[in-house]
Amino acid sequence: MESKIHSSLRTVEWKDNTVVMIDQTKLPNDLVYVKFTDYREIADAIRNLVVRGAPAIGVSGAFGLALEVLQSNATTKEDLLSDLEQARKVLHETRPTAVNLAWGLERIMQVAKSGKDVLNIKESVVEEAKRMADEDIQVNMRMGKYGAQLFSDNDTIMTHCNAGALATVGYGTALGVIRATKESGKKITVIATETRPVMQGSRLTVFELKHDGIDVSLIPDTAVGYAMARGLVSKVIVGADRILHTGHVYNKIGTYQIAIMAKEHKIPFYVAAPLSTFDLKSRPEDVIIEQRKASEVTTLAGKKTAPDGINVINPAFDMTPPELISGIITEIGIAKPPLEESIKKLFESKL
């Protein structure tokens, strides 16, 4: 059964053995849905940011494998697993930082490997991918309920990038907490940063909050210090692409400088992320930060904003260390500092 949420957008969906997604590159000007039947198209969609946000690409990767299981002509379990492995590799290589992608692909591969025969694998893989999509919404809603306790009536909440319905299957992580706070009856307003260079804040966060009737003001990334120094911000909440066992949080480029500024102004800085965003094995030096193309920085709306032939550094993510974080909200509770200890306890409580 599919979860229905009336107050937000459904980013990615399995429909009649195809995958339907909102094309996020067209937002905020056009709300366009695109349909895919081949995992290679899903890989392109992830690479080109048609779909983005850690949980959304995790489920999209799973849907990519579900398409492959239907398309494969394999007649033996071994051949089907080999086709799936080939697809897994292509999907996995699209974006290196968000761990949800590897998590989603691995969960499907495990289901496929435990299948009896070709028919059984086909059915169970499609079912599992659909279940993951529905679970994503439920997880976000649970996270929202925990997170809402941290926010008060009349809070102004700053967020960065888009960790909303558009970054997940629906409802959102950081914006899910904002939605749940509002649904609990508290009056809140949001300040969203533009999030240069891809503008997930202005194009996506502001679009979806406006769509759902949540009060939001857009600021340039450069006005974060101004807003905090003027007392315009009560709390900050962001999503995450990967969280290590030590509490190091990888998220959209610019998160780190916002966390530092929040600390300076004694403003609580929260992260909201599902357990599927935790990577308990890696160390900071193991994490690959995706570097994106220079033209994202040297052009604006198709026009050049920098001279030709210059050097550009365009990392998609940065790392915020645990000492800058006031709490990490998950679907099973909130990890508070010291984060390494509370993350350990959180995962132990799950066993």
Region from 206-214, 239-247, 299-307, 324-332 binding ligand MRU, contact rule CB under 6 A: 239-247
Count residues near ligand MRU (CB under 6 A): 18
Strands 216-219 and 235-238: unpaired
Using CB under 6 A as the binding rule, whether residue 163 contacts ligand MRU is answered as yes
Contacts (CB under 6 A) with ligand MRU, residues 246-275: 251-252
The token pair at 196 is 């240069």
Using CB under 6 A as the binding rule, whether residue 316 contacts ligand MRU is answered as yes
Residue closer to ligand MRU, measured from CB, 59 or 161: 161
Residue closer to ligand MRU, measured from CB, 121 or 214: 214
The CA–CA distances, whole Å, from 196 to 65, 167, 199 equal 32, 17, 5
Residue closer to ligand MRU, measured from CB, 122 or 252: 252
Contacts (CB under 6 A) with ligand MRU, residues 35-54: 52-54
Residue closer to ligand MRU, measured from CB, 276 or 326: 276
The token pair at 131 is 């279940």
Active site annotation includes 134: no
Using CB under 6 A as the binding rule, whether residue 200 contacts ligand MRU is answered as yes
Which residue out of 136, 241, 279, 308 is catalytically annotated? 241
Residues with catalytic function? 241
Site residues, ligand MRU (CB under 6 A): 52-55, 98, 161, 163, 167-168, 173, 200, 238-241, 251-252, 316
